[in-house]
């Protein structure tokens, strides 16, 4: 991206996505899955949407076994896969993160538990934290049949767990093309640790990951992943 375009894009952040006051989020003890993922050897890909992709990417970049985490857009067309257009809320895209992981270190069901414990509130529709709009919906996007089966079982388990007082509204979406976001969004938490949004909303999620999932937590940020 040219310098001028990058500056304009960065300046627009405070006016569009990933900005705004709201009630503080609290981590939740999402249940461990009863339907464990049975995955073959070799790296696998998972895609999750959970509000602003800075925090989703930031949390999973600290999970052991994750070898790649890329912020991007999922659900819409190539033509509309840009930050400016997606931030309008008028596309089918969600801000999402494509995660590459080693199932011998961290299973897909464990990634789901992390997602709903410290990243996304599954009872919120078309919003997360301070961000409102369809682009901030929480969603699970399976990339294979095993992930789809695990996700379906886990959502059903969550609904019966009693952990959440409100209905679970997060859904499973069919996989479409994932479009990586602009370069300035990648590794955003690592590059901008003092950014107001990061310190207010996303750093606490990483701290919760460390506290709640010590066996999965990795201190170093997975730089330039994916």
Q: Active-site residue numbers?
A: 52
Cα distance between residue 161 and residue 164, in whole Å: 8
Which residues are within 8 A (CB) of 224 and not within 5 positions of it... i.e. 6 or more apart?
186, 187
Look up residue 201 and give its DSSP letter. I
| 166/218 Cα distance (integer angstroms) | 32
Selection from 26, 195, 54 nearest residue 118 by Cα: 26
Place of tokens 């659900």: 75
8 Å CB contact between 34 and 157: yes
- Helices assigned H by DSSP within 50-202: 53-60, 83-86, 108-114, 145-161, 188-191, 196-197
């Amino acid at each position: 991206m040219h310098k001028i375009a990058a500056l304009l894009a960065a300046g627009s952040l405070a006016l569009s996505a990933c900005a705004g006051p709201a009630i503080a989020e609290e981590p939740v003890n999402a249940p461990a899955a009863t339907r464990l993922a049975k995955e073959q050897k070799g790296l696998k890909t998972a895609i999750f949407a959970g509000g602003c992709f800075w925090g989703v990417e930031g949390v999973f970049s600290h999970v052991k076994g994750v070898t790649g985490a890329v912020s991007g857009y999922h659900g819409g067309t190539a033509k509309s896969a840009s930050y400016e257009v997606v931030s309008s809320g008028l596309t089918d895209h969600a801000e999402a993160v494509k995660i590459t992981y080693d199932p011998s270190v961290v299973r897909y069901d464990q990634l789901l538990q992390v997602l709903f414990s410290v990243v996304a509130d599954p009872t919120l529709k078309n919003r997360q934290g301070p961000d409102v709009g369809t682009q901030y919906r929480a969603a699970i996007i399976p990339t294979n049949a095993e992930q789809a089966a695990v996700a379906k079982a886990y959502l059903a388990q969550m609904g019966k767990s009693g952990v959440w007082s409100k209905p679970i509204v997060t859904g499973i979406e069919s996989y479409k093309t994932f479009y990586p976001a602009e370069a300035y969004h990648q590794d955003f938490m690592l590059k901008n640790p003092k950014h107001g949004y990061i310190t207010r909303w996303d750093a606490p999620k990483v701290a919760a990951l460390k506290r709640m999932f010590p066996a999965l937590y990795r201190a170093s940020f997975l730089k330039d992943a994916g």
